[in-house]
Chain A
Amino acid sequence: MPTYRLRINDRVHEVEGEPADSLLSVLRYELNLPGSKYGCGEGQCGACTVLLDGQATRSCVTRIGAIGGKSVTTIEALANGDRLHAVQEAFLEVEAFQCGYCTPGMVMAVVGLLRTHPNPSEQDIARMLERNVCRCGTYPRIVRAVKLAAERMRATDHHGSQATDHRGSTR
């Protein structure tokens, strides 16, 4: 089996596998990063969403052979130590979850969304999160959380006091 060098959460890992093996499987079962969830394996539910060079990507249908030198960020690396990312803060504050199983993927998808749409309309949110399922049905709350996070991140960026890195988090 070939070996792949994968850059994950700012660390390089060497992983043996078939090129078609999914990134999700590697994250969860080899690298002990179970924050990204398996929900469908079809790229339809978004519970496995990670950032690939800052872009929200479904890790369950991402083949390890196709990642190349791109940088992978998972939910485990989103917070800065104890300081939560603005999107995590907003989800917590609005309580935009029930069972929480979709939450890591949903949070990562929102981080990716806000990177390209810092001031998203409800239509933008619905369109860009369409393939993220919350079976508990907290969608209206998630929309509220996205708007709250967007507002705060814009305010921070506007003051120009903090730089934004590739994760979209403010440091």
Chain B
Amino acid sequence: MKATEHRGSTQIEPERYELEEPIKYLFEVERREFFRVLGGGILVAVALAEAGAQESGRGGEQGRGPAPDLAAWLHIDEQGRITVYTGKTEIGQNIRTSLAQTVGDELGAPITSISLVMADTDLVPFDAGTFGSLTTPRMAPQLARAAATAREMLIERAATAWQADRAKVTLTVRDGRVLHPDGRSVAFGELTKGQKLTGVVAEKPATSSADRWTLRGQPVKKVNGRDFVTGRHQYTSDIGRPGMLHGRIVRPDANGATLGTVDDSKARAMTGVTVVRDGDFIGVVAPNERAASRAAEAIRVEWRIPEGLPTSETVYEHYKKTEAPAGARGPSPSLRASGPVVAGDVAQARAQAARVFETAYRIPYIAHVPLEPRAAVAEWKDGRLTVWTGTQRPFGVRSELASAFRIAEEAVRVIVPDTGSAYGGKHSGEHAIEAARLAKAAGKPVKLVWTRAEEFSGGYLRPGGLIEVKSAVDTGGRILAWEFDNWNSGASAIRTPYDIPNQRIQFHPANSPLRQGSYRGLAATANHYAREMQMDEMARALDRDAVEFRMAHLKDTRMRDVLAAVAKKSEWGKPRTSSKDRSLGIACGTEKGSYVATAAEVSKASGGFKVERLVVAFECGAIVNPDGLHNQVEGAVVQGLGGALFEAISFTGGRILNGTLEQYRVPRFSDIPPIEIELLDRRDLPSAGAGETPIVCVAPAIGSAVRALGPVSPALPVRLT
């Protein structure tokens, strides 16, 4: 953004929300060790991309002798089967399939010959975690390079066997075979048989450009889809171990509560029940889940709840009162306070303006509600701890476990089965620690599955926030000044993509009475809501067309393209069929390298409004799997509907008041309007991640449409006042 200059060290730190910094980890490449575990064949190790190393503060470790940090590796065994090892986790975003497409494409191997070993800390190289829509832009190109390296090695071996001069003859790969133009071919397995070859990924091996993709770009079906429709897939909560017991935690139902009095005599008297007390930790272990649940219910606890905490109504003032001073560390190290981003002189611009607009937007806390609650199975054996658990940060959880039990990280193995969704809500490992604590006390493997109520009260939430926007326009309707202050909700997508000469944009970390953390799209949803609603308000007040008004302030062609696409598809500007009771709203935005524009059509309905239709244009560079992408975009839009229409955590004194699925409404079948999606495939651009950004414009598009029916409250969920 050219118009914005930074004064001093005022750069806003990228928001991450991890609850702790990633650990340092150097993986020794021991060739013999690899082949001992994997058997013979060809092995290609992928060095950690420099960008990734810098991101996690590990840049200094690069190139340190023969032990480079590895991002992944790829093995072709003596039967030609390809196994890819990556620390990424599958949480429904379909990367088990899209990464296999990438590898298959570069290797010329059928997708059925490829399997991925994911997120098992004993088997895969370190990975900071699966978040930030980074798998596609970071991990996929690394695996592509590894696969391209392996392809070269296979071709080289075939050329040697055929005594072919590669300068004269072009050997190619297809369907797991190397092909000679004279018609001869040889299977990968024949080339890898009896071999122990190690490949080093070249700086820039020749990976295929998007116009030469064959597997990528195709709507390949989920590789293990059958396991899901048959119920055969084992999530963490489905895993059993010999002699396994079941645990339950007695948990405070308010954030910040401390233990008062406990009476666990009834539970202790139950047959087969062990009560585990350790500081404020109270848990039970029993032979089965029902007995554990009965024992936990039999324990009487009084919790001391801190006084004077704000409620869901008063929390917005609380944020302003508890604002962290600039430079101070916020509640999470990644939410550090920073100075504002400043361009021009907003005060002077405002003084010269024809009109000034001021609005304070309120963003409530919302819950992820992953359908699979937090769960863990822990087993101590021969001094080692193994934990199966659904998390987006297997190595982070391993580190948490090692530190909780004061053991070496090497003594902990975390295995993440493909998980029943997360949406940013499964970064931390408290449930893993709890299961391990119980297993340690019981001397047997223990399974712990949080109840839905525990998910609400014990998990973390998308932060609430207060966003004050002041904008000013000149007599010609150009935006002169833009002031944007966000308390607590976060800095993601806080900057404006619009061309405005005078700006002051600042994120203010504050105290949160509830546990908060990462959520799909982070604060980009809150910041887009405030920004786009403000754009909408100005356009309306100036009697300008909302699309034209935005276009007049947009230089970014990718943003212009999605906005134009959605305007066309939604028939923007054409009269509605029943214009009195129906209206169309629009919003656009960008985050994490992808672009989205959303149009919403609403109608008047008893008690408010009804969403009749959503139209979305989305662009994330070259599309790897169009059907998978469509699924992600549609899913993000549906999830966005929840926050736009009804999701909000109600609380007082640190206690959540609507922490059940009956009280906390998530989108259901009858809430879903027709959703039309246009995916813009930019084969000329690198692929960006897509799991998050499509969520950001749902609320402002609906808010804008509803505003045509009457005044709208500047808060989420969208309400007519």
Chain A positions within 8 Å of B, measured between CB atoms, are 17-18, 21-22, 25, 28-30, 32, 34-42, 44-45, 47, 74-76, 78-79, 84, 88, 91-92, 95, 97-104, 107, 125-127, 129-143
* Complex: A17 Cα to B289 Cα, angstroms: 12
B670 in contact with A127 (CB, 8 Å): yes
B240-264 Cβ-contact flags toward A at 8 Å (1 or 0)? 1000001000000000000000000
**In the complex with contacts A32-B240, A99-B419, A137-B662 CB distance below 8 A:** no
* Complex: A7 Cα to B578 Cα, angstroms: 56
B92 in contact with A98 (CB, 8 Å): yes
Pick the interface stretch among B59-67, B229-237, B464-472, B598-606.
B229-237
B94 in contact with A98 (CB, 8 Å): yes
19 contacts between A and B (CB under 8 A): A28-B238, A37-B235, A37-B420, A39-B372, A40-B452, A42-B452, A45-B452, A75-B230, A76-B231, A92-B229, A97-B229, A98-B94, A102-B371, A126-B669, A137-B637, A137-B672, A138-B638, A139-B672, A140-B675
B670 in contact with A44 (CB, 8 Å): no
* Complex: A18 Cα to B238 Cα, angstroms: 23
Provide the residues of chain A in CB contact with B675, threshold 8 Å. Answer: 140
**In the complex with contacts A29-B246, A37-B420, A39-B452, A130-B92 CB distance below 8 A:** no
B460-487 Cβ-contact flags toward A at 8 Å (1 or 0)? 0000000000000000000000000000
**8 A Cβ contacts from B614-632 to A:** 627-628, 631-632
Return the chain B residue nearest A29 by Cβ.
Answer: B289
**In the complex with contacts A44-B662, A130-B669, A138-B234 CB distance below 8 A:** no
Provide the residues of chain A in CB contact with B423, threshold 8 Å. Answer: 135
Provide the residues of chain B in CB contact with A28, threshold 8 Å. Answer: 238, 289
Provide the residues of chain B in CB contact with A38, threshold 8 Å. Answer: 237, 373, 449
Return the chain A residue nearest B635 by Cβ.
Answer: A137
Provide the residues of chain A in CB contact with B584, threshold 8 Å. Answer: none
Provide the residues of chain B in CB contact with A107, threshold 8 Å. Answer: 229
17 other contacts beyond A45-B661, A135-B371, with CB at 8 A cut-off?
A28-B289, A35-B231, A37-B237, A38-B237, A40-B452, A40-B660, A42-B661, A76-B230, A76-B231, A84-B229, A95-B628, A97-B225, A99-B370, A100-B229, A130-B669, A134-B371, A141-B631
**In the complex with contacts A25-B289, A42-B452, A125-B669, A100-B662 CB distance below 8 A:** no
Closest chain A CB from B636 CB (angstroms): 7
Provide the residues of chain A in CB contact with B661, threshold 8 Å. Answer: 39-40, 42, 44-45, 133
A95 in contact with B226 (CB, 8 Å): no
Closest chain A CB from B607 CB (angstroms): 18
* Complex: A155 Cα to B666 Cα, angstroms: 35
A133 in contact with B373 (CB, 8 Å): no
Provide the residues of chain A in CB contact with B235, threshold 8 Å. Answer: 37, 101
Provide the residues of chain A in CB contact with B91, threshold 8 Å. Answer: 99
Return the chain B residue nearest A26 by Cβ.
Answer: B290
Return the chain B residue nearest A60 by Cβ.
Answer: B452
- With an 8 Å Cβ cutoff, the count of chain B residues facing the other chain is 58
Closest chain A CB from B627 CB (angstroms): 6
* Complex: A36 Cα to B636 Cα, angstroms: 25
4 A-B pairs with least C-beta separation: A35-B231, A137-B638, A99-B92, A101-B420
Chain B positions within 8 Å of A, measured between CB atoms, are 91-94, 221-222, 225-235, 237-238, 240, 246, 288-290, 369-373, 418-421, 423, 449, 451-452, 627-628, 631-632, 634-639, 660-662, 666-670, 672, 674-675
* Complex: A131 Cα to B670 Cα, angstroms: 10
Provide the residues of chain B in CB contact with A140, threshold 8 Å. Answer: 634, 672, 674-675
* Complex: A126 Cα to B670 Cα, angstroms: 5
The main secondary structure of chain A at its interface with chain B is: loop
* Complex: A132 Cα to B94 Cα, angstroms: 22
Closest chain B CB from A124 CB (angstroms): 10
A95 in contact with B225 (CB, 8 Å): yes
Provide the residues of chain A in CB contact with B370, threshold 8 Å. Answer: 99, 101, 135
Please pick, from B246, B419, B451, B636, the residue contacting A137 in the complex, using a CB distance under 8 A. Answer: B636
Return the chain A residue nearest B234 by Cβ.
Answer: A34
* Complex: A28 Cα to B669 Cα, angstroms: 27
Please pick, from A39, A44, A139, the residue contacting B669 in the complex, using a CB distance under 8 A. Answer: A139
Provide the residues of chain B in CB contact with A101, threshold 8 Å. Answer: 235, 370-372, 420-421
* Complex: A75 Cα to B238 Cα, angstroms: 14
Provide the residues of chain A in CB contact with B666, threshold 8 Å. Answer: 133, 135
Provide the residues of chain A in CB contact with B672, threshold 8 Å. Answer: 126, 137, 139-140
B232 in contact with A35 (CB, 8 Å): yes
* Complex: A42 Cα to B453 Cα, angstroms: 10
Please pick, from A36, A88, A102, the residue contacting B230 in the complex, using a CB distance under 8 A. Answer: A88
**In the complex with contacts A138-B635, A139-B638, A100-B290 CB distance below 8 A:** no
Return the chain B residue nearest A134 by Cβ.
Answer: B371
Provide the residues of chain A in CB contact with B230, threshold 8 Å. Answer: 35, 75-76, 78-79, 84, 88, 104
Closest chain A CB from B367 CB (angstroms): 10
Return the chain B residue nearest A93 by Cβ.
Answer: B221
Q: Which of B221, B421, B660 has the most CB of A within 10 A?
A: B421
Provide the residues of chain B in CB contact with A139, threshold 8 Å. Answer: 638, 667-669, 672
